[in-house]
Structure 1
Amino acid sequence: MTVSMFGFGRLSAEGKAGIASGVVFFSMLISRTLISERVDKNTRASLFRVQFVLFINSLLLLGSLYIWKRVVRRLCGARGAPSVPQRCWRLLVLLFLTLVHGSYLCMFFLVDTEPHWLSLLSFSCLGIYVILLFFLFLFGCLTRLRRLLSRNRGGEDAVAGGSVSHIVLAMILTAILAVYGLVNAAQPPRVIEVEIPVEKLPESLNGLRLVLLSDIHLGPTVGRSKLQRIVTMVNELNPDVVVIVGDLTDSQVSRLRSAAEPLGQMKARLGSYFATGNHDYYTADVEGWFELLQSMGIQALHNSHAKVFRPEQTQDWICLAGIDDLEARMLRYPGHGMDVEKALSGCSAESPIILLAHQPHAAKQALQQRPDISLVLSGHTHAGQLFPLTILAFLMNPFFCGLYRVSEHTMVYVTPGTGHYGIPMRIASHSEITNIILKRA
């Protein structure tokens, strides 16, 4: 009676799924506000994962219902008993959508040294799902527009016939882009060389080679073999410094210790450094990763800095600083949170400052606080990674990809990332190892 009173029972399936996603989203916000930092971080991490999976799957359900109505009901017809081919098609689509909804569960249960085949299959299906949903929605809008413009019955029949052909076209385009994306993401990262002028750079450090890595995302679809290839390519560049600007991992050290071992082979004459990204905090094991990286000779910059200098010229140095990711404070991760002033405390006004800030929004905020920073290195955007998400990434970030001059004295470089997150595809972007050469301005 109460359900019918509020009209919930009369809502469409899409409406119910939308309400469910809204409820889960607001529960995430409320829990972040009410849960005290005194609560065990593993408990908070478990709660976050459950909420995250529920939220993602409630959103996916909206798209799944949309896809089902078009690629099953529209193509097979809603009347009469389905034929054997139609039943097989329905079963295939149902299996596809089941794999899509199980993708993020793989992130929590199927993480090992190398990616599990089911993880690769599920996340590949998720990539196909995103592309297909985009084209179905786009062509659906075009069909509705044509229907509004049509003024006679014959035109309406043509539109109805065209909608089926649009669905078929959407599936063909999705297949082509998915194959391209899978092949593209499987290629080794491109080595991009970038010369960046830096004011106040000492003569002894002119030409310093700094290799930038970001967004490797060790986890369900990136394992030891891919990391080994990255480390080998880095060592071939013979760098002075290597920096990893966040999102190294998507799971705990206990699951990925073996996968991360190639990091211990990385060679940089003047040191290797790491600053956190948002996904590193999602693991709820940042301290564990700090300890592992330290044992491999990689220094974690936790709102701190290091002096980079050549042994023969100790008086000439660069202040290389790293800040915690923006989301550390939102997640109420104990002892963590972006603090630019703390990170730069002790940096000399006569020395150039290079800041590692995972998110471009963090880079923007840091430069508002300290306009004397010479160069900010960021990642996070993946250059969109997967079309049409490219559009969202471009619109939502102050710096999207590549080199930006912010002021006369400051530049920002955003890498598209060295790996990929979850979906093993890259469309309209490429994985990158950035070989930065610092030059005197």
Structure 2
Amino acid sequence: MLALLGFVGTLTLITGLIHLYLWKRLIRDTTRPGRLRWAGSMLAVGLAVLVPATMVSSRSAGLSWLAWPGYVWLAVMFYLLVALLALEPPMLVVRLVGRARARQVGTVGELATTVPVEPAAPPQPATAVTALPPAGEPAGGVPDPGRRLLIARGVAIFAGLTAAGITGYGVRTALGPPRLDRVQVPLARLPRSLDGLRIATVSDIHIGPLTGPAHTARIVELINGLNADLVAVVGDLVDGTVGELGRAAAPLADLRSRYGAFFVTGNHEYYSGVTEWVAEVDRLGMRVLVNERREIVTPGGVIDLAGVNDPTGETMAADAGPLAGPDYDRALGDRDPDRPVVLLAHQPVQATEAARYGVDLQLSGHTHGGQIVPFNLAVRLVQPVVSGLGEVDGTQVYVTNGAGFWGPPVRVGAPPQVSLVELRSR
């Protein structure tokens, strides 16, 4: 409970500060005092409250209607923030130039009022010549409020159109069919008799309040069309309880492959009732690897397939027995060192530990490929591989983008993905 309150408090503070900045740039700077500014201010307050309210209540059946407007606004808010921050440097230059011109005009005007005109014939009393400022610049060195308002409105319109356009593209991408990524991974210990073994890999399906059975069925249909030897579902299957999402997960029972479908937990399973979901996934026909290893026996030989729990279990399921977190020794210890091993682990960072056990290949998800550019730059700070094939301490790590989305139904720069990993002998 305290953790939830801390999360909500932090989220409210961050979104509040962001909305304060957006209010300043999009409402205060673009309007004059009056009803329009008041209405815009009330809208900003409402949107600021909408974000944490959506995050907290979207799983509640009675408040699920908040999910679409709340999560879409979260994406628009993010891109408004990015666009406006990108425009801050040129806006600062414009303001400095405007102030410099205003000061110059004011100085010239002061000098002109003190210089008398030479008397002409016939002699007339000396008069003063007052210099007029250029159009758009009032006298006295004060920037023109009308010009400032026009620039602020132009910036707001540009930022708004940019944010709306990127978000619209991202929604279309996120809700569209997953793209297939084919990758060949050479393994030093893979015998030639197992060359070409194919593993259909999917992660982060995120069955939740914004998706339904059709979302799951489309992913299953794509995987079944690959005729893979194995199916690996590497975590973050759901965002809700079995009671809420059991119907949406039902198409997973139709997964087909030569040697079976396997599953490991992700962090979101621990947020959604991990014990019930492990039982449900098993009922649907997938084999849950709970810190364990299976021998995959094929006509060409044997390969080890191991799986470890997500690290979230160390804190959120400390009393859940085998589900209480990753146990690499149990999954990878005491095995034939000459046999190749593929590890299923939700987070790429788990490869640091897996490398100590000589894992040939780790299949992961979790990152969503960044999901929303430029958020992928932040993901690189905490995960060694964000998308595609990489290496950690001698262990190859393949990270799939995930077939769903979390939070905003938006993907920019990281389309939804199902991956076909083909193992090759060297």
Tell me which interval the TM-score lies in, with the shorter structure as reference length.
0.7 to 0.9
Counterparts of residues 256-275 of structure 1 (less than 5 Å): 256-275=245-264
Q: Structure 1's 96 and 359: CA in aligned 2 closer, same or farther, altered over 3 A? A: same
Q: Structure 1's 374 and 307: CA in aligned 2 closer, same or farther, altered over 3 A? A: same
In structure 1, runs of 5+ residues without a counterpart are: 1-45
Secondary structure of 1:76's match?
Answer: coil
Shift of 1:431: 0.5
Shift of 1:63: 1.0
Secondary structure of 2:29's match?
Answer: helix
How far apart are the structure 2 equivalents of 1:403 and 1:329? Answer: 27
Report what 2:100 is aligned to. 152
Q: Work out whether 1:53 is the aligned partner of 2:8.
A: yes
Report what 1:234 is aligned to. 223
How far apart are the structure 2 equivalents of 1:52 and 1:217? Answer: 20
Secondary structure of 2:58's match?
Answer: helix
Report what 1:330 is aligned to. 315
Query: 2:308, 2:344 within 8 Å by CA — same for their partners in 1?
Result: yes
Identity percentage over the alignment?
Answer: 33
Between structures 1 and 2, the one with greater helix share: 1
Query: 1:146, 1:159 within 8 Å by CA — same for their partners in 2?
Result: no
Residue from 397, 419, 427 that aligns with 2:404:
419
How far apart are the structure 2 equivalents of 1:433 and 1:189? Answer: 6
How far apart are the structure 2 equivalents of 1:111 and 1:286? Answer: 23
How far apart are the structure 2 equivalents of 1:246 and 1:255? Answer: 18
How far apart are the structure 2 equivalents of 1:87 and 1:147? Answer: 26
* 1:226-261 residue CA offsets vs partner (Å, 9 max, x unmatched): 011101111111111111111111222121111110
How far apart are the structure 1 equivalents of 2:102 and 2:290? Answer: 67
How far apart are the structure 1 equivalents of 2:157 and 2:74? Answer: 19
Residue from 338, 343, 361 that aligns with 1:350:
338
How far apart are the structure 2 equivalents of 1:350 and 1:149? Answer: 70
Secondary structure of 1:430's match?
Answer: coil
Residue from 213, 219, 225 that aligns with 1:224:
213
Report what 1:397 is aligned to. 383
Report what 2:168 is aligned to. 179
Q: Structure 1's 47 and 244: CA in aligned 2 closer, same or farther, altered over 3 A? A: farther
Shift of 1:163: 4.0
Query: 1:110, 1:119 within 8 Å by CA — same for their partners in 2?
Result: no
How far apart are the structure 1 equivalents of 2:61 and 2:2? Answer: 19
Point out the more displaced range, 377-386 or 53-62.
53-62
Name the aligned partner's letter for residue 264 of structure 1: A
Counterparts of residues 352-367 of structure 1 (less than 5 Å): 352-367=340-355
Shift of 1:181: 0.6
How far apart are the structure 2 equivalents of 1:160 and 1:144? Answer: 15
Q: Structure 1's 48 and 263: CA in aligned 2 closer, same or farther, altered over 3 A? A: farther
Question: What is the Cα-based RMSD across aligned positions, in Å?
Answer: 2.5
Shift of 1:222: 2.6
In structure 2, runs of 5+ residues without a counterpart are: 104-142
- TM-score (norm: length of structure 1): 0.80
Query: 2:308, 2:331 within 8 Å by CA — same for their partners in 1?
Result: yes
Secondary structure of 1:56's match?
Answer: helix
Counterparts of residues 33-432 of structure 1 (less than 5 Å): 46-77=1-32, 79=33, 81-83=34-36, 89-90=40-41, 92-110=43-61, 116-144=64-92, 147=95, 152-154=100-102, 162-283=151-272, 285-310=273-298, 312=299, 316-331=301-316, 333-334=318-319, 335=321, 336-367=324-355, 369-370=356-357, 372-406=358-392, 410-432=395-417
Query: 1:381, 1:400 within 8 Å by CA — same for their partners in 2?
Result: yes
Name the aligned partner's letter for residue 82 of structure 1: R
Secondary structure of 2:263's match?
Answer: strand
How far apart are the structure 2 equivalents of 1:251 and 1:397? Answer: 25
How far apart are the structure 2 equivalents of 1:365 and 1:154? Answer: 63
Name the aligned partner's letter for residue 28 of structure 2: R
Name the aligned partner's letter for residue 393 of structure 1: V
Shift of 1:91: 5.2
How far apart are the structure 2 equivalents of 1:101 and 1:331? Answer: 22
- TM-score (norm: length of structure 2): 0.82
Shift of 1:439: 1.2
